[in-house]
Amino acid sequence: MTSNIRYKSRIPVKTEENAEEKQYVGFATLPNQVHRKSVKKGFDFTLMVAGESGMGKSTLVNSLFLTDLYKDRKLLNAEERINQTVEIIKHTVDIEEKGVKLKLTIVDTPGFGDAVNNNECWKPITDYIDQQFEQYFRDESGLNRKNIQDNRVHCCLYFIPPFGHGLRPVDVEFMKALHEKVNIIPLIAKADCLTPNEIKKLKDRIREEIDKFGIKVYQFPECDSDEDEEFKQLDKELKECTPFAVIGSNTVVEARGQRVRGRLYPWGIVEVENQSHCDFVKLRNMLIRSHMHDLKDVTCDVHYENYRAQCIQEMTSKLAQDNRMESPIPILPLSTPDVETEKLIKMKDEELKRMQEMLNKMQQQMHDKDQ
């Protein structure tokens, strides 16, 4: 073993020949350096939960993160909720595990889907998500970017009731309103009231309807081709298991001689972390242990960028209309201007193309009329 071990590099270093040693530069340790810096800085993650009351959202969040975020919550009764609109409530908790700090923000949406008339009940939610994007956009374009707070929503867990036969109109409309703004992960709530057969049927039905309605839920990234077979197999199972059928619990029960999180019924005990009982473990592993980072990446690279491009387009078209030289926000960010102007040119081109097509159509119509 040579002194290269100091860098804890995962890449096997050929240490036998001196010639190799001379050629080894050492930047392969970069991932480890990044890792160490991030651990010092800590991570943040914003998770939104949406679905009607009584779907077990709070219980699931507490089970996932082993916290008790809803200790002082007071449940309203039906009379009190008559004129309630959808609220947005944030809970923040700092969790530390093995030296890694996570600042977790849970965005709750009480009131969603509870009224008699739920028209556009998702509007406060889409507004909230857009506001976070806008705030980040301003911060990013501003002068002092040292301490930008990232409040963008990285993931939205949507709870589908287990009682139905598939997606309801409100489920479809909600997901369609949000699928291009946030990563949506649909879940089947309170899955312990379904038999294994019923769960399978419901999952198949939901997957079919998601396809049919063109809803873009969060897709797990493809495995790298050089991953081992076992990993690929697990990944495949994970993908075929969606939407996850979950159960949560804040109570510990005794099952098979062990103390586990579960629910005690007269006919048996449901164990939250038992994979043959529900998909809780799969959800937790996916959300926290393997895909947390990817969720953040997709939020930044896809959803946020879409928002930003749209924002810029609106602003430039407004500028063109107003013909003003100055704008309230510095729209040309300090990063690569070429990419920006290229994007603008592309958008203008597409607009021109569309107008040209319309003109052609009108000409054709007039031509047909004449004949």
Partner 1 sequence: ISGSGSTLLGYIGIDTIIEQMRKKTMKTGFDFNIMVVGHSGLGKSTLVNTLFKSQVSRKSAGWARDDKIPKTVDIKAVSHVLEEGGVKMKLTVVDTPGFGDQINNDNCWEPISKYINEQYEKFLKEEVNITRKKRIPDTRVHCCLYFISPTGHSLRQLDVEFMKRLSHSVNIIPVIAKADTMTIEERQDFKQRVRKELEMGGIEFYPQKEFDEDMEDKSDNDKIREAMPFAVVGSDKEYQVNGKRVLGRKTAWGIVEVENPNHCEFAQLRDFLIRSHLQDLKEVTHNIHYETYRAKRLNENGGLHPISSNDTQESNL
Residue 13 CB partners (closer than 8 Å, separation 6+): 2, 4, 20, 24
Q: Which is nearer to partner 1, 155 or 262 (CB)?
A: 262
Which of 44, 108, 150, 192 forms a contact with partner 1 (CB under 8 A)? 192
How many Å apart are CA 29 and CA 10, to the nearest integer? 8
Within 256-295, the residues that bind partner 1 by CB under 8 A are 263-271, 276-277
Q: How far is the CB of 107 from partner 1 (least distance, A)?
A: 20
At 106, list the tokens.
């849970």
Per CB under 8 A, 105 contacts partner 1 = no
Torsion of CA 325, 327, 330, 332, to 10 degrees: -50
Per CB under 8 A, 119 contacts partner 1 = yes
Residues 315-334, one symbol each (x = binds partner 1 by CB under 8 A, - = not), give --------------------
Burial category of 331 from C-beta neighbours within 10 Å (exposed 0-12, middle 13-18, buried 19 and up)? middle
| Other Cβ atoms within 10 Å of 61 Cβ, number | 22
Which of 115, 241, 319, 347 forms a contact with partner 1 (CB under 8 A)? 115
Q: How far is the CB of 166 from partner 1 (least distance, A)?
A: 9
Q: How far is the CB of 188 from partner 1 (least distance, A)?
A: 12
Distance between start and end Cα atoms, the chain: 89
Per CB under 8 A, 82 contacts partner 1 = yes
- Residue of 147, 156, 86 lying closest to 114 (CA atoms): 86
Q: Which is nearer to partner 1, 277 or 308 (CB)?
A: 277
Q: Which is nearer to partner 1, 56 or 296 (CB)?
A: 56
At 358, list the tokens.
């319309």
Directed axis angle between helix 123-141 and helix 305-322, to 10°?
Answer: 80
| Phi, psi angles (nearest 5°) of residue 76 | -85, 150
Bridge partners (DSSP) of residue 94 are 103
Per CB under 8 A, 177 contacts partner 1 = no
> Amino acid identity, residue 259?
R
Per CB under 8 A, 52 contacts partner 1 = yes
Q: Which is nearer to partner 1, 264 or 362 (CB)?
A: 264
Stretch that binds partner 1, among 16-24, 111-119, 307-315, 342-350 (CB under 8 A): 111-119
Which residues would be at the binding site for partner 1 (CB under 8 A)? Answer: 52-56, 75-79, 81-82, 114-119, 121, 161-165, 168-170, 173, 190, 192-196, 263-271, 276-277
